[in-house]
Each structure stands twice: as structure tokens, then as C-alpha cells.
Chain A
Amino acid sequence: MDAERNAAKGPQPREGKATHMEGPDLESVIERAQGHDAEALAEIYRLYARRVFGLCRYMLDSRESAEDATSEVFLKLQRSIESYDGSIPFHKWLLHVAGNQCIDALRHRKRGRQLFVEVEEDVAVLEAANPEPSPLGAVLSKEDRTQVRDAIARLPENYRVPLVLRYYGELSYDEIAQQLGVQKNYVAALLFRAKQELRRRLGHRSL
């Protein structure tokens, strides 16, 4: 158990994330949590708080709002976990929930105005040939990763949110589309533009 907890704390390769607790162990914890077992909920919190917080932190603009959103997610989890049916991995489901929470928070700040408004030409324009710089190369050093991360954090909301949902939350286009209330095509377009913008911003650096 301790090893798992420690593993959950440090940054780790993508493949390792879902493995800090797998199979029957995690299942039983989730089952107990669904039965309102406080210990199990605490365990889930220990395992996933960091990841959920990370998502919230990328999606929202301040540490405070990210903390608020994270605690909201885990507070609501006591009830919402009942609806988890095991059809997708738990961490994906949880990040989906967290994504919803953040989007609600963003919407709330916009006072009901639509967060993402689809613009027809956006989709069309992207079908055209792309004169932008080529994809980012491999990043090896920690400094480089920090640069990329900072650039992502500074992207405009409409690029940042889908990008984070996709590459941090591992949500599918459909899930992102559903969360943002837009078409799947548009998600693809947003992601593509987000990457282009990111490249442009990091372009002068040789990554």
C-alpha cells in the first residue's frame, strides 16, 4: 500500500499511471466506496487527488480555483461514484468527472455565456494545407518539459481546455465534445489549432 502511495506522488511515465492500483484491489476499493465506506473514499482520494488536481490546475487559471474544483470533485464523488459502472478505467472516469467540474467552473465565470462557440470556417480553414512549423520533436530534459508545460498553461482557454482534456485527461474526442457541448469535428479542429499555436509559441526554440 505504501509503495503505491509513493508511486502516486512522483511524476511517472504515462504507462505507469493506471497501474498504481489495478484489478481486484482497486475494484474492491471502488466497491467499498460505492457503499459509502469512508476509508475507501480516503484511499481513492490518496490515489487520485494529485491527478485530478493536475487536470483542474491546467484547466483553471489559479491554484485556488483548482483546489476548489478538486475538493468539489471528491466531495461529489461520494454520490457520483455510485454511477461508475466499470465500463471504462476508473481514472479515466474520474478525470471525465473532474473535467466536467472544471468546465462548469469556467462556465460559471462566464455567467452562462457559451464557453465554446463553434465557428464554421474554423473547421473549414483547417482542411487547407498547413504552412506551420513541423511537429515538436522529442523532449528529453526536465527544463524542456517545463517550457512546454508553461506554454500550454499560457494558451488561450479554448485551446488549453481540449488539449489538457485529451493529453492529460486522456478523454476521447467524443467525450471532450460532449463536455464542451460542441461537435466532434470541432474538437479535432481545436486540438489541431492548439498544437499549431503551441508550436508557433515554442517555434523559435529548437526542441
Chain B
Amino acid sequence: MECYSEQVVSIFVDGELAAEEARRLREHLATCRRCRQLLDALRVENHVLSESLQELPEEAAIPDFSPLPWSLAWSDVAVVAAVLALGSFVAGWFDRLSIPEALQWLNPFSVSGRTNLFFNLSYYFAQGGTAMLIDYAAVVGKIFFLLLVGGSALLLGRRWLLREPGLRLLIVLLAVSLPGFALERRHGDFVTVAANETIDDTLVASGNIVRMEGAINGDLVAFGGSVEVRGTVNGDLMTFAKRTAVSGTVKGNIYDFSSSLDLDGQLGHSLYGFVQSLRVNERGHVGEGVLVAAGDFSLEGEVNRSVTIYAGNADVSGSIGRELTMSGENLTLTNTARIGGNLSASVHQLKNVHIADGATITGKRDLQVRVRHSRFARPKFYFYQAVWLAAAMLVGWLGLVLFPGFFQASTHEVGSGWRSFGLGIGVLAGVPVAIIVIAITLVGLPVSFMLLAAYLIAIYLAKLWVGAFLGRLLLKPAGDTKSDWLLGLLVGLLILTIVGFIPYLGGLVRFAVVCLGLGAFAWQLYRVSRPAMTA
């Protein structure tokens, strides 16, 4: 009988040969000396291999693991406990302080908002859709782009030196910023700081009613249905509430996001707010200025410096140390009103401005009537548009140089049409919700700011990809070079810019552009990150 191959014998030695074949081989071995020798040699070889492998390849063979698994098990438990604690804390907030309720007035789907939804939407589109958002985005985008370019240059220069440390630094910074929010916290249905109580730290309070009668040496951050400050806050006051009333003293600034804010007390520095109704009552005093966007603004007390407001209705009967700048619908100055500087108001109709004869205005009066469409008549408008276009081209060029693959792929992705559009709507609507939710947890405040910046930048970049795609569609360049892409971008942006100014249709187009671009961006991000995730 013919001898077996070495491979078969080898498999036999490993005990892996099929039973029947193994039996035949055994029979053969009994008669074949050559194969027996091979078998023995292979056995010895296996033994050599096992034997040699028993020692580890390095001298210090015993791994010195720290932390050991059982201690890690406890840290696992600790992490889970921390997450649960944080979760219940956050959930507690949601339940008890009814933030959604506090922010209800922002919600277009609320009972009062629903009736206005249709009008709001048509106004929104008539005014250019996402135009305002894009303007914000342009500013934020440019700042970040400078940082990005500077940072990229640094990173490219010292890529290997900085990459990991840079990442670690970021993590450390994030980690360091977190305990900054781990301050004294109180929450409950009814949170009070008693009159005889002094808190030396920053207080984060949340509750249906937050009442502060004592003293806080740090800042007060309050979430609640109703926030009342009757005591003294030596730092800043930041509130997210349905109703905020300050009758005590705030030595720093007030940052307010409330449905209504009443200032009866003393404010050391300035007031910044985004509120439905703001009243500075007779006894209210603002040490510096006021900058607010409000539905109704009423000033009976005193502001030492200037007041800048964007308001539906503004009533001034108190005193303003310097300028009053107002933009909105109605402005009323009563007999007791006193303005130390200029009065500038921008309204739709002059008859909506009422200035009583007794009102004192030390500086000039500048009343402007905003007429729509007038912007097309001003040369400045075209200049700004040219700057805007140049800036967009610059951003596009930089993006193409720094991330060529990503920019071009995102441009192609716009072509997927409905997928990009649908995804874009989701991102456009979903991210602000995520930002608010993350911000509410407070721990996530830095994250939420970063997310907001990224959101605005993405909105800004959206038009670049759509523009480039549109240009490509029209020009149909033969190649896929960078200059083709840039030329396409120029043509596309020009068209989008012009179309964007058509009333109503322009708004819809801008909206669609943002959705398409955002969707393409999100999809491309997903695609880029996918291999890393599934690998």
C-alpha cells in the first residue's frame, strides 16, 4: 500500500483525522516503518512546539495588571450607580420642576401656540426661511473656521507629537469642566434658601417654586415654574423659568430665559434676556445696561446705561442713563420717561411710536421706518452679498483643501434627494431638542454648546454642498477636479442667492437647501464613521 502524505499523518498526530481514515492509517502503520518514523518525528515536533510555547516570549512574563478584574467589577458597579443616580436626578428634574412647562411658551405646538403656528410658518417662509439661522451660522462658522484652520495647521505640523496628547488634553478639559457644574444642588417641589442662610458656593436649584431669601456668594442657576429672588446673589443669576421675580439684590448679571421676568430689586451689572414679558418695576434698578428680546417690555424703574431691545411692545416710563435702541412694533414713551442719550427706534409704522410731550430725550431722535424690499435699493446690500459670496467660496475652498474627500462625497450625497432631505429635516428639528435636553442636565452644558456650534456650522456648510451639487448639475463638468468643484460652487451659490431673495419661494428654497445639505452632511458623517464602528 502506498504511504500516507505528511499532512495526513500530521492531522492524525493532532487527533483530527476522521475515524475511518484514522483506522486505515493505523493499519498501514503496523506494516510501514517509514510512516511510523514520520509519525514519531511529528509527535516529537508537536511536543517541541507545545513545550517551547509554554514559556512566554518575554522575560518578565507575569503580567502586572492593574487594576485587577475584581476591583474593576466594583468600578463597573460604581459607574452604573453614578449613571443611575444622575439619571434619577435628571428624571427628577423633568418630573418636579416641569421644565417643559417652564418652556411651554416657546413651544409652537402648545395650545396658544398652535393657533399661531400656521401664521408663524408662513411668516417664516415669507421672511426668507432659515435666513436668520444662516446668518448666525455664518458668524459662528467663521470663528470656528479660523480656529479650525489654525488648529489644523498646528496638528499637521506636529501630527504625531500632538495627536494623542491633544486628544487627551481635550478629554481632560472636558473632565475638568464637568466638576465645575457639580456644585451645590437643591431640587424639590419647593426649594427655599431661608433668610438667615448663606451659601458660599454656586447654587443650582430646581423646583416648582424656587424661593431664595438668604444670601448666595456664588451664582444662582435656577430652573423652575416660579423663581423668586428676595435675598442677595453676589454672583450672576441665570434662570429658566415660567416666571422669575427678582425683588432682592443681584450683584452680577442676570441671564434670563423665562416667560416673564419682573425686576423689583437691585441689579449690579447688566440684564440679558430672551423673555416673553419683561418688567423693570418702579423700584427696579439696573446698574449697567439691558439687552433683551422680549414680547412686551416695560421699564418703570431705572437703568444706568443703555437699553437695547427687540420687542413687540415697549413701554418706557422710567429712566435710561444713555441710549435707547429699539427694534420692533410699538414704542411708547410716557411723560415720566427720561433718556440720557439718543433714541433710535426702528418700527414698521411711525404711528406706532408714541412719545409723550413730557418725555425727556437728551440726545437725538432717530426714528426709522423699516420698509421691506428697500434693501435691494441700497448699494451696500450688493456689497454685503458679494462679501458673503466670497466668504462662502473661501470656506468652500478651505474645506476642499483640508477635507477633499469629505466635501466632494457630501456634494454627491445631495444627489440622493429625498433621503438627504428627510434626514436633513430630522437633523434640523432634532438637534435643537437634543441641545436643550443636554443643556438641561447641566453636566452636559459644554457638550450642548459644542453641539450648538457644530449645528450652526453644519447649517452654514449645507448651502456649499447644495450649491456645488447644483453647479455640477448645470455645468456637467467632464472631470472631478477641485477647480470643477469650485466653479460649480460659484455658479450654484449665485443661483441659490438670487433665488433666495424671491419672496416666499425664496424661503422655501432656503429651507430645502438647508435640509438637503444637512442631510447629506449627516449621511456622509455616518458613512465615514461606519467602518470604524463595525470593525
Residues of A in contact with B (beta carbons under 8 Å apart)? 9, 11-14, 38-39, 41-42, 45, 49-50, 53-54, 57-58, 63, 66-67, 70-71, 74-75, 77-78, 107-108, 110-112, 126-127, 129-130, 134-139, 144-146, 148-150, 152-153, 163-164, 166-168, 172-173, 184, 188-189, 191-192, 195, 207
- Once the chains bind, are B63 and A50 in contact (CB under 8 Å)? yes
Q: Determine if A149 and B63 form an interchain contact, defined as CB atoms under 8 angstroms apart.
A: no
B157 within 8 A of A: no
Query: A142 → chain B, closest Cβ, in Å?
Result: 8
Contact with A along B59-78 (1 / 0, CB 8 A): 00111010011101110000
Interface residues of B (CB under 8 A from A): 5-7, 10-11, 14, 16, 38, 41-42, 44-58, 61-63, 65, 68-70, 72-74, 531-532, 534-535
CA distance A184 to B42 in the complex (A): 20
Tell whether, in the assembled complex, residue B56 and residue A188 are in contact, meaning their CB atoms are under 8 Å apart.
Answer: no
Least CB distance, B41 to chain A, in whole angstroms:
4
Expressed in whole angstroms, the Cα–Cα distance for A180 and B72 within the complex equals: 30
Cα A166 to Cα B61 in complex, Å, equals 21
- Assuming the contacts A136-B45, A145-B51, A188-B7, asked whether A42 and B70 have C-beta atoms less than 8 A apart, the reply is yes
Instruction: Point out the residues of chain B lying under 8 angstroms from A9, CB to CB.
Output: 62
Q: How far is the CA of A150 from the CA of B70 in the complex (A)?
A: 33
Please name 15 pairs of A and B residues whose Cβ atoms are closer than 8 Å in the assembled complex, sorted by A: A41-B73, A42-B68, A49-B63, A50-B61, A50-B63, A67-B65, A75-B72, A111-B532, A130-B7, A136-B44, A139-B48, A173-B11, A188-B11, A191-B14, A207-B48
New A-B contacts (17) at CB < 8 Å, excluding given A11-B55, A42-B68, A168-B54: A14-B51, A41-B73, A42-B70, A50-B62, A54-B56, A71-B72, A75-B69, A78-B73, A138-B47, A139-B52, A145-B51, A149-B52, A152-B52, A172-B16, A189-B7, A191-B14, A192-B6
A146 CA / B69 CA spacing, docked (Å): 31
- Bound together, the chains give a CA A39 to CA B69 distance in angstroms of 11
**Given contacts A54-B56, A153-B57, A172-B16, A191 and B10 within 8 Å (CB-CB):** yes
| Least CB separation from B54: chain A residue | A11
Distance (whole angstroms) from the CB of A45 to the closest CB of chain B: 5
Q: A14-B50, A148-B49, A168-B50 are in contact. Are A195 and B69 (CB under 8 A)?
A: no
State the Cβ distance, A33 to closest chain B Cβ, in Å. Answer: 10
The 10 closest A-B pairs by CB, nearest first: A148-B52, A135-B45, A135-B41, A74-B69, A167-B49, A168-B53, A112-B535, A38-B70, A145-B52, A53-B63
A135-B44, A136-B44, A139-B52 in contact; A57/B69 too (CB < 8 A)?
no
CA distance A111 to B530 in the complex (A): 10
Given contacts A45-B69, A188-B7, contact A173 B58 (CB under 8 A): no
On whether the beta carbons of A167 and B62 are closer than 8 Å, the reply is no
Inter-chain contact A67/B69, CB cutoff 8 Å: no
Contact B57 A67 (CB under 8 A): no
Contacts of A167 in B (CB 8 A): 46, 49-50, 53
Whole-angstrom distance between the alpha carbons of A63 and B14 in the complex? 29
B65: contacting residue among A71, A138, A168, A172, CB under 8 A: A71
With contacts A145-B52, A152-B52, A164-B53 taken as known, whether A38 is within 8 angstroms of B73 at the C-beta atoms is: yes
B56 in contact with A53 (CB, 8 Å) = yes
Whether B65 and A49, one on each chain, are in contact in the complex, defined by CB atoms closer than 8 angstroms, is yes
Closest residue of B by beta carbon distance from A17: B54
Name the CB-closest residue of A to B37.
A134
Determine the distance from Cα of A146 to Cα of B57 in the docked complex, in whole angstroms.
8
**Which residues of the partner chain A approach B10 to less than 8 Å between Cβ atoms?**
188, 191-192, 195
Q: A111-B535, A112-B535, A163-B49 are in contact. Are A130 and B54 (CB under 8 A)?
A: no
Q: Given A41-B73, A75-B69, A191-B14 in contact, is the A63-B58 Cβ separation under 8 Å?
A: yes
Q: How far is the CB of A110 from chain B (nearest CB, A)?
A: 8
B63 near A166: Cβ-Cβ < 8 Å:
no
Is there contact, CB below 8 Å, between B5 and A130?
Answer: yes
- A153-B55 Cα distance, complex, nearest whole Å: 12
| Shortest Cβ distance from residue B11 to the other chain A in the assembled complex, whole angstroms | 5
Instruction: List chain B residues, Cβ under 8 A from A67.
Output: 63, 65
Inter-chain contacts of B55 with A (CB < 8 A)? 11, 145-146, 149
- Measured between beta carbons, the chain B residues less than 8 angstroms from A153 are 57
Minimal Cβ-Cβ distance residue in A for B43: A135
Shortest beta-carbon distance from A90 to chain B in Å: 16
Set B14, B62, B69: member contacting A71, Cβ < 8 A: B69
Chain A residues closer than 8 Å to B70, beta-carbon distance: 38-39, 41-42, 45
Cα–Cα distance between A53 and B60 once the two chains are bound (Å): 12
